[in-house]
Amino acid sequence: MGRLSCGGGGGGQAKLRKGLWSPEEDEKLYNHIIRHGVGCWSSVPKLAGLHRCGKSCRLRWINYLRPDLKRGSFSLQEEDLIVALHEILGNRWSQIASHLPGRTDNEIKNFWNSCLKKKLRQQGIDPATHKPITAMPDALPTDAQEDEDQKPPTGAGALAPNPKQQAVFDPFPAATDFGGVFDHDGLAAVPALFEGVTGDYSSVLDLDSYGESSSNSSNNNWNGCGAEMSNVLDGEALHWAPIKDDDDAALGEHKFLLQMPCQEQMSLPHFDFNLEYF
């Protein structure tokens, strides 16, 4: 059933690596995509000199290396938005993620499964239906779908940032090791990164406005932020373009299209990540 998975016993190909990515692999993949864009994922590992399947490279890029990713814990506004979107969309994580700039479907899925479900139950809400859990005692989760127990959440763990941070290639050292301020929206990390690489952008970006946006999620400043980002990153490897479609308009949300550079599009300065930082 289905096609052969790329991992493991694929047959024919040289043995592919699986498991955690090393900093060297991250750097290869990142530099390859920054230089050449994605193109065809199945050819990326070969072109980038990686012993991974294309699928694995795609996942790593989307979930970890993408420059537009937010880092850090979810804000209360994001939390509320996820809950609201889940009520509408169900487990369509990619669609939910499309309304949360900088968040990945995997990240949201994990957050939902590990924190939000528990939190909703604590509030007497059935995470599956988003309706109040009925008074009927046997309405408590007994079916296979909702088989999680009713253990109280570990207070700090519920929404606290994950203390675990792997010692691997970090495309956004600003978020951690550079001491960059990581506000609710995590966007401060980006200028911090570029400060580390190309100069001081703190005077260009009004970081306070980002903080503001987090306190006003239904009417936040993503568009303005996009313009700012565009200003800052113009001439750099990235270009931000605010986009808005009907669905987003309905939800009052805006998102950004991160236009990855490709050879046809623009010629770009290249920067290598300096692993000394780690």
Q: How far is the CB of 65 from DNA (least distance, A)?
A: 9
Q: How far is the CB of 244 from DNA (least distance, A)?
A: 18
| Chosen residue from 23, 153, 196, 224 binding DNA by CB under 7 A | 153
Partner residues linked to 257 by β-bridges? 241
- The Cα–Cα gap between 244 and 257 comes to 9
Q: Are 242 and 226 in contact (CB under 8 A)?
A: yes
**Comparison of 105 and 228: residue with beta carbon closer to DNA:** 105
Strand (E) positions, 53-171? 125-126, 131-132
| Chosen residue from 32, 60, 121, 255 binding DNA by CB under 7 A | 60
Q: How far is the CB of 29 from DNA (least distance, A)?
A: 11
**Comparison of 147 and 246: residue with beta carbon closer to DNA:** 147
- Tokens 């088989």 locate to 147
**From 4-12, 182-190, 215-223, 264-272, span contacting DNA (CB under 7 A):** 4-12
Cα angle 141, 146, 150 (rounded to 5 degrees) comes to 55
- Under rule CB under 7 A, residue 94 binds DNA: yes
Backbone conformation region of residue 20, classed left if phi is above 0, alpha if psi is from -120 to 50, else beta: beta
- The Cα–Cα gap between 50 and 35 comes to 15
Burial class (CB in 10 A: 0-12, 13-18, 19+), 8: exposed
Show contacts with DNA in window 130-149 (CB under 7 A). none
- Tokens 């503001």 locate to 212
| Chosen residue from 49, 124, 132, 161 binding DNA by CB under 7 A | 161
Residues in contact with DNA, total (CB under 7 A)? 52
- Under rule CB under 7 A, residue 64 binds DNA: yes
- Tokens 């012993």 locate to 51
Show contacts with DNA in window 108-127 (CB under 7 A). 109-111, 113-115, 118
Burial class (CB in 10 A: 0-12, 13-18, 19+), 131: exposed
**From 123-131, 134-142, 163-171, 258-266, span contacting DNA (CB under 7 A):** 163-171
**From 28-36, 152-160, 217-225, 227-235, span contacting DNA (CB under 7 A):** 152-160
Show contacts with DNA in window 166-185 (CB under 7 A). 166
- The Cα–Cα gap between 228 and 225 comes to 5
Q: Are 87 and 130 in contact (CB under 8 A)?
A: yes
| Chosen residue from 47, 59, 83, 128 binding DNA by CB under 7 A | 59
**Comparison of 91 and 215: residue with beta carbon closer to DNA:** 91
**Comparison of 115 and 205: residue with beta carbon closer to DNA:** 115
216 SS3 class: coil
Nearest to 165 by CA among 173, 155, 153: 173
Question: Using CB under 7 A as the criterion, which residues of the chain lie in contact with DNA when the complex forms?
Answer: 1-3, 5-8, 17-21, 39-42, 52, 54-56, 58-60, 63-64, 91-95, 105-107, 109-111, 113-115, 118, 151, 153-154, 156-158, 160-164, 166
